Amino acid sequence: MTTTRPEDIIRPDVLSMTTYAVADAKGFVKLDAMENPFPLPAALAAELGEVLAGVALNRYPEPRPAVLVDKLKQVMGVPAGAELLLGNGSDEIISMIAIACAKPGAKLLAPVPGFVMYQMSAKLAQLAFVGVPHRADLTLDVDAMLAAIAEHKPAVIYLAYPNNPTGTLYPDADIERIIAGAKGSLVVIDEAYQPFAQKSWIGRVLDYDNVVVMRTVSKLGLAGIRLGYLAGPPVWLKEFDKVRPPYNVNVLTQAAAEFMLDHVDVLEAQAAELRAERGKLSAALAALPGATVFPSAANFLLVRVPDADAAFDALLNAKVLVKNVGKMHPLLANCLRLTVGAPIENAQMLAALERALK
């Protein structure tokens, strides 16, 4: 009897991959995934529940929900003339861009260390990935970026603003130099952490013919509904829309997003509280023995400690879950990425880390 096995059919590079790991956080102080720790106010949550109860679950969602798109444009400051493309989180948009741009021999370029999904999407679409290392202080090496762009002529360049996992907010002048040197490439500015950076390129997205801006509502406090969006010139978004899966944004996500955009002030107030907590947490971490805190414009902090593995294990034993990024890239040796949580969560994490470092 002949047996058909996965390894007979599935691509060898896929067989060699591992799945995206998500730690079981039950019973832990969860500070590993850059989530907003604050729930919605009870009255607002109840009102949202009534809205969702009225959603027609028996019908397919609108593939291009005009009301939601128009509301996003208005609330998020998208300039007139720019278009929006919606995705099931920004991860799906990253995948769509890779698929659409995957000509034979095409390349995708980004600073490293950076968001892992840029490289993952390139691999799955069989694009070559070019990673350009940051400087030792985790700032952008613009000259190295420009040299790599000239050498590799990438189809797509990702610039996270600010960057994950470093928290770095690249200077606008550096981004302008890269855009100017990237003729023949599409520059994707990823603003996932915009609520905490409070700076944006979205208002300038039509100033260039090779720039789009990507965002998500996840970090704003709606990670569970999985909604990302891409803003840019219609000529680009028209092409990316061709590889968008039909009905990719479900009816509950659409309804929840429409509702919350009418109450975005609640989420913005939570983001302001987290920005304040970030400053307090950064100062407290910097005072710990052996800890080096890198500047961050996001809702997390990158901290270098003498032994990241030991510190991670100590935090785990104290039921505090953070991200050990020390093995992601040589520049991140002995680094932990700590999400900024609610005050009580930050206090628990600080106490556990202080004990570990002593």
Q: What's the pLDDT tens digit per position in 158-169? A: 999 999 999 999
- Is 78 contained in some domain? yes
Query: Residue 180: what pLDDT?
Result: 97
Of the candidates 55, 29, 90, the residue with the CA atom closest to the CA atom of residue 338: 29
Cα-based distances in Å from 318 to 13, 35, 301, 314: 38, 20, 19, 6
Q: What confidence tens digit (pLDDT) does each residue in 65-105 have?
A: 999 999 999 999 999 999 999 999 999 999 999 999 999 99
Q: Is the pLDDT of residue 254 over 90?
A: yes
Tokens 């104290």: give the residue: 318
pTM of the predicted protein model: 0.95
Q: Report the chain's mean pLDDT, rounded to a whole number.
A: 96
Our count of domains for the chain comes to: 2
64, 238 contact by CB (below 8 A): no
- Say what percent of the chain tops pLDDT 70: 99
135 and 15 inside one domain? no
Q: Is the pLDDT of residue 123 over 90?
A: yes
- Is 47 contained in some domain? no
Q: What confidence tens digit (pLDDT) does each residue in 173-195 have?
A: 999 999 999 999 999 999 999 99
Strands, DSSP E only, in 136-293? 156-160, 186-190, 211-216, 228-232, 292-293
- Is 51 contained in some domain? no
- Is 49 contained in some domain? no
17 and 162 inside one domain? no
- Say what percent of the chain tops pLDDT 90: 94
Report d(CA 263, CA 255) in Å as an integer: 13
Q: What confidence tens digit (pLDDT) does each residue in 298-349 have?
A: 999 999 999 999 999 999 999 999 999 999 999 999 999 999 999 999 999 9
Confidence grade of residue 64 (pLDDT, cut at 50, 70, 90): very high
169 and 246 inside one domain? yes
Query: Residue 63: what pLDDT?
Result: 93
151 and 274 inside one domain? no
Query: Residue 20: what pLDDT?
Result: 82
241 and 348 inside one domain? no
Which of 231, 263, 295 marks a domain boundary?
Answer: 263
Query: Residue 1: what pLDDT?
Result: 63
Q: What is the CATH number of the domain that holds 202?
A: 3.40.640.10
Which of 209, 242, 263 marks a domain boundary?
Answer: 263
Report d(CA 240, CA 173) in Å as an integer: 28
210 and 78 inside one domain? yes
Query: Residue 40: what pLDDT?
Result: 97
Q: Is the pLDDT of residue 2 over 80?
A: no
Beta-carbon contacts of residue 230 (< 8 Å; ≥ 6 apart) = 84, 85, 87, 93, 97, 212, 213, 214, 215, 237, 240
Q: What confidence tens digit (pLDDT) does each residue in 196-235 have?
A: 999 999 999 999 999 999 999 999 999 999 999 999 999 9
Residues pairing with 300 in the sheet: 339
326, 303 contact by CB (below 8 A): no
